[in-house]
Amino acid sequence: MTRWYHGSYSTALLSLNNDTVLWERPADRDQLRECPGVYFTDKKSEAVGYGSFLISCVPKMGFRYMHNGPPTLRGLKQFIRENATSDDVDRFIADRSVSDLAEALLPLTHADTSLDALVQLYGGTGVIRSAAKWAEAMRRRRDGLVVKRDGSCHLIVWNLDAVRLKEIE
């Protein structure tokens, strides 16, 4: 099983749980490549660049990995039905100057991955504006996801109860 690493300037992550994690997005969206979540890397040397306190992470048995294949209209509609209010859906449709939800979601079906499409449903122009609500919505579906970026792999965790965390001395 892969061991993952998280660098930080404090060990606070060790005492957090799904209810206490601050799921807020940085002001600069480019700093957050995927979505709200707790990020780990497979490279200890990369994690050190984020802070001198290193925390290792091992997914527990039964960890529910999100499949990150191409998005489907059906999957996107289901995600919205499960997680958005009718007012948010109405605003989402109106912001796109279309007549219904399917038409508003159709461009997202051309995203490279499901996560790329779902990320577009988060934030100021999406149907889920709160980072905490986003993480809760993702946690209902899966515990986390592995993404490959810039020569390394990253584990994004939405359900901290599904991993074992340990400070590295």
Q: How confident is the model at residue 29, as a pLDDT?
A: 44
- What is the per-residue pLDDT across 96-115, written as a single tens digit (0 to 9) for each? 999 999 999 999 999 998 98
- What is the per-residue pLDDT across 18-33, written as a single tens digit (0 to 9) for each? 666 655 444 344 444 5
Residue 151 neighbours by CB distance under 10 Å: 7
DSSP code string of 42-86: S-HHHHHTT-SEEEEEEEPTT--BPP-----HHHHHHHHHHH--H
Query: Comparing 127 with 74, which gets the higher pLDDT?
Result: 74
- What is the per-residue pLDDT across 140-161, written as a single tens digit (0 to 9) for each? 889 999 988 778 899 999 899 9
- The angle formed by the CA atoms of residues 139, 126 and 22, to the nearest 5 degrees, is 45
Grouping H, G, I as helix, E, B as strand and the rest as coil, residue 137 is: helix
Q: Where are the domains of the chain?
A: 4-65+144-168, 73-132
Cβ atoms 83, 132 nearer than 8 A: no
Note the helical H segments in the chain.
Answer: 44-48, 73-83, 86-95, 101-105, 114-119, 131-141
- The answer, as to whether pTM is greater than 0.95, is no
Q: How confident is the model at residue 128, as a pLDDT?
A: 82
